[in-house]
Structure 1
Amino acid sequence: MPTSPPRGPLVTRDSAGAQLRALGVESGEILLAHSSLSALGWVNGGAVAVVQALLDALGPDGTLVVPAQSGDLSDPAVWGNPPVPEEWWDRIRATMPAYDPLLTPTRGVGVIPETVRTWPGALRSAHPQTSFAALGPRAAEITGGHALDCRLGERSPLARLEKLGARVLLLGAGYDACTGFHLAEYRIPSPHVQVGRPAPGGGWERVTEVSITSDRFDELGHDFERDRPVVRGEVGAATARLFPLADAVAYAERWLPVHRPREDEFPHPRA
């Protein structure tokens, strides 16, 4: 059967860079980018061209940061896409490779973050499930010291990005991908969970962590955009949004307790 022609528009490194600058991306700033390559249209050069365009817009003094999550380094008992047979669980735990920031691929965040992760000079934070990768002069400052028991909280790159005045770019991605909202979960009453993962020195470990979820982040983002300044534009065929990370976190701290109470997830004391 004949194949259909590619869906446009045609996007190049130069056109994407120009549209990012027109959106408001500034040379020298720190940018936390969440992205969808497929949303952009037909990109000549694919993810490499998009990363080049982002670096062009940021200039040599800017720093590009992306989520580099590897959620598959987790307990097979909680896997659902797809699940695995229960009789495999112990064997999977015993043989799962430990996290290696140089080798462990990203999962579930798209091809652009994986391209940044493997870019020459990229640095990656230490958390085995919710790391960030960065390129630029502030990369070491942002990725260093990511606590192994703090996925997306005060001792993660998110808090450093907030302090450094970073902005968030949603490039064809929705608010459900906005990791900054998770930082707010660490600042409001939230349940804790036991998280299983391969231990750095081999074997299996469990750590106590704040329970995080992207549930209703799309609604949170809708209200945030209604109430706070968010720059909107287009890059290729994708809708792009640009806003300060600190604004998003502060708004989520107020919104989440009202619109997404999670008291039912807390253990209740026995009578």
Structure 2
Amino acid sequence: MTDAQTARTEITEAEIADQLRGLGVAPGCVLVVHSSFRAVRPVEGGPAGLIGALRAVLGPQGTLVMPSWTGNDEEPFDPWTTPASSDLGIVADTFWRMPGVVRSEHPFAFAAIGPEAEAVTRGPLPLPPHVHDSPIGRVYDRGGQVLLLGVGHDANTTLHLAELLAGVPYGVPKHITVWSEGRAVRVPYRENDHCCLRFGPADGWLRERGLQAEGRVGHADARLIRSRDVVRVALEFLERDPFIFLHSPSEGCADCDEARSSVGG
């Protein structure tokens, strides 16, 4: 831990809740959260304290949703025991383990608690992961909000939904492993996958239109946007250029180059 981190003042759960309200988190809404606790901390109660503040602001009629996928393509997913991918952070991995939280039964899982939790998380394996009939698509259908907490739009899975709704032409070969008739089976699919760094300009697109609230939550920069606004604005730009989220060939990004090379293959 750096000197700057050790000098940070611990923020109480109540203070976090006030910050979330000030940002515009709506009581009773469906809220999907992508987070970096490293950016937010220290918080009273740790990751569980942050989750408590989110639930307090949403209230009993609100539904809290977080990504909870495995990140392991080679082994079948068990919703009761498989850890969330380390890329998702400690808040996401803490959340699915908490009492009352439900988790998707497929490896592209989300976890949720609240009145809409079952409706958001349940359903068949979505291929590719963020099609309309997926947890992130169901948040979109319910007019949900997206909270980016200490992370940027490169972590915003709703932009992958927008790509699929736009019908982007790229899709790299992937596979996932599932249980089928008592044995592990590899399932191939194509995914609109790339490095995601070119999702960053969505900041400016949304800010210019007054569609993105920004502020501090804990010690982190936070962004709050309606899922439908993310998709609507992204579709505007994808209609002009379906490759807008990929680095150009001259920029030397292997992931984006692979996505480009998939077109017509």
Instruction: State the TM-score, normalizing by the size of structure 1.
Output: 0.83
Gaps of 5+ in 2: 247-258
- Which structure's CA Rg is the greater one? 1
**1:185 alignment partner in structure 2:** 163
- Aligned match for 2:179, one of 177, 193, 200: 200
Please state how far the C-alpha of 1:148 moved relative to its aligned partner: 4.1
CA contact (8 A) 1:21 1:57 kept: yes
Kindly indicate whether residue 232 of structure 2 is the aligned counterpart of residue 250 of structure 1. Answer: yes
- 2:30 aligned partner, one-letter code: I
Kindly indicate whether residue 92 of structure 2 is the aligned counterpart of residue 110 of structure 1. Answer: no
CA contact (8 A) 2:154 2:198 kept: yes
Per-residue CA deviations over 1:104-150 (Å, capped at 9, x if unaligned) read: 1111101111111111111112331x211101111001111143423
SS of match in other structure, 2:201: helix
Q: Indicate how the Cα distance of structure 1 residues 265 and 198 shifts in structure 2: closer, same or farther if over 3 A, else same.
A: closer
CA contact (8 A) 2:172 2:262 kept: no
- 1:64 aligned partner, one-letter code: L
**2:148 alignment partner in structure 1:** 170
**2:129 alignment partner in structure 1:** 151
**2:251 alignment partner in structure 1:** none
- 1:30 aligned partner, one-letter code: V
Deviates more, 1:18-27 or 1:145-154: 145-154
Instruction: State the TM-score, normalizing by the size of structure 2.
Output: 0.84
Instruction: Return the alpha-carbon distance in structure 2 between the equivalents of residues 185 and 207 of structure 1.
Output: 20
Instruction: Return the alpha-carbon distance in structure 1 between the equivalents of residues 78 and 28 of structure 2.
Output: 30
Instruction: Return the alpha-carbon distance in structure 1 between the equivalents of residues 44 and 81 of structure 2.
Output: 27
- Aligned match for 2:264, one of 246, 264, 267: 267
Q: Indicate how the Cα distance of structure 1 residues 252 and 127 shifts in structure 2: closer, same or farther if over 3 A, else same.
A: farther
**2:104 alignment partner in structure 1:** 125
- 1:136 aligned partner, one-letter code: G
Instruction: Return the alpha-carbon distance in structure 2 between the equivalents of residues 64 and 54 of structure 1.
Output: 8
Kindly indicate whether residue 213 of structure 2 is the aligned counterpart of residue 235 of structure 1. Answer: no
Instruction: Return the alpha-carbon distance in structure 2 between the equivalents of residues 4 and 205 of structure 1.
Output: 46
CA RMSD of aligned residues (A): 2.0
- 2:190 aligned partner, one-letter code: E
CA contact (8 A) 2:199 2:245 kept: no
Please state how far the C-alpha of 1:185 moved relative to its aligned partner: 1.6
Please state how far the C-alpha of 1:210 moved relative to its aligned partner: 3.0
- 1:100 aligned partner, one-letter code: D
Deviates more, 1:205-214 or 1:130-139: 205-214
SS of match in other structure, 2:78: coil
Deviates more, 1:219-228 or 1:32-41: 219-228
Number of residue pairs aligned between Structure 1 and Structure 2: 243
**1:42 alignment partner in structure 2:** 42
Q: Indicate how the Cα distance of structure 1 residues 230 and 127 shifts in structure 2: closer, same or farther if over 3 A, else same.
A: same
Instruction: Return the alpha-carbon distance in structure 1 between the equivalents of residues 47 and 12 of structure 2.
Output: 11
SS of match in other structure, 1:216: helix
CA contact (8 A) 1:32 1:167 kept: yes
CA contact (8 A) 1:123 1:133 kept: yes
**2:255 alignment partner in structure 1:** none
Instruction: Return the alpha-carbon distance in structure 1 between the equivalents of residues 147 and 96 of structure 2.
Output: 17
CA contact (8 A) 2:102 2:118 kept: yes
Please state how far the C-alpha of 1:253 moved relative to its aligned partner: 1.9
- 2:8 aligned partner, one-letter code: G
CA contact (8 A) 1:7 1:41 kept: no
